[in-house]
Chain A
Amino acid sequence: AQSVTQPDIHITVSEGASLELRCNYSYGATPYLFWYVQSPGQGLQLLLKYFSGDTLVQGIKGFEAEFKRSQSSFNLRKPSVHWSDAAEYFCASARQGGYQKVTFGTGTKLQVIP
């Protein structure tokens, strides 16, 4: 069975600092991988996705993520955080082929301080 682990429940960074949110997946084969963000009062918004090919994926809002098969990781990064990035971030996976039954991690809440 698939599982996604986000080891950090809560992270605080200063505005302008760099950010890395960790995500590890557990699956026999390479899954599809996603990062979603949920801002207060909003739905889940897709930041980026990895299906195949280039392991460094660019997303919206200046985010990127790198797929590392050897570490079963898909960490999310941003070089300079803005106050508006404060939100909850979810890493997710789905098996390749067929429809996507997405498995989510427990989420990481990001707080941005001035």
Chain B
Amino acid sequence: EAGVTQFPSHSVIEKGQTVTLRCDPISGHDNLYWYRRVMGKEIKFLLHFVKESKQDESGMPNNRFLAERTGGTYSTLKVQPAELEDSGVYFCASSQDAGLGTDTQYFGPGTRLTVL
């Protein structure tokens, strides 16, 4: 079974540009999460989808970040316009069961975003 995949693995852009990160969860997983790790800091929750609906987006830093999950399959995270402080590693995770409190999140390899 394929794991969580993320694309691209690395992205280097200039301040003010737009970048779109993609996450493909494990097939059949209704829950999809985005996290971010800024250099030297902890990994922080950004948002959570249940199928195509945003369950919790309390961790999104500001309105320059837009996450979508079309059809409840893959998800994209767009940063527009990118700022220097957006640099970091963006992780995606997916899990199977919602609301039972016992699901395990499986993480992708992350996308390393560098904003110059």
Contact = CB atoms under 8 A, between A and B. Distances in A.
Interface of A: 4, 32, 36, 41-46, 49, 51, 90, 92, 96-107
Interface residues of B, number: 31
Given A44-B91, A100-B101, 9 more contacts: A41-B109, A43-B91, A46-B104, A49-B104, A99-B50, A99-B101, A99-B103, A102-B35, A106-B40
22 contacts: A42-B109, A43-B3, A43-B91, A43-B107, A43-B108, A44-B110, A45-B107, A46-B104, A46-B107, A90-B43, A97-B101, A99-B56, A99-B98, A99-B101, A99-B103, A100-B101, A101-B59, A102-B33, A102-B35, A102-B45, A103-B45, A107-B43
A101 B95 contact: no
**Among B4, B56, B105: residue with most chain A CB under 10 A:** B105
